[in-house]
Amino acid sequence: MEAIPENHSVGFRSADTAPSKPSAPTDQAGATGYLEEQLTEMLIRISGASPAQITPEARLIEDIGIDSLGFYEILIEADECLGIKIREEDLLQFRTVGDIQHHLQKLAPSDVQAI
């Protein structure tokens, strides 16, 4: 078995270079943009839709393809990623991406809303 040369890198990142979670913005426009960006990323992960499909007018079921399981994934990710708890009965009322955006803005913690 050959030894790895001293100057050879194995491709692991150190803790110093690991990506960090984005911090929440500190102004109102920044907060809205932050929530929209996080929601867009969340919906892309859940549905497999392209970023161009995620518009405020896009219908969750018909346009993006969110199914009943996807709605619950939204509920879980909003809590885990944004610290925003969506009630199940509210979740099932959402029809468009804009509906979720408005709801998240209303429920956002004060450290995100003050943004």
- Which class is domain 42-109? mainly alpha
pLDDT value of position 93: 92
Q: Are 97 and 60 in contact (CB under 8 A)?
A: yes
What is the spatial distance between Cα 27 and Cα 11, in angstroms, rounded to a whole number? Answer: 38
pLDDT at 108: 84
Label each residue of 47-95 as H, E or C. Answer: HCCCHHHCCCCCECCCCCCCCHHHHHHHHHHHHHHHCCCCCHHHHCCCC
Read off the pLDDT of residues 59-69 as tens digits, 9 standing for 90 and up.
999 999 999 99
- Residue 73 is predicted with a pLDDT of 96
User: pTM higher than 0.75, yes or no?
Assistant: no
pLDDT for 36 beyond 80? yes
CB 3 within 8 A of CB 91: no
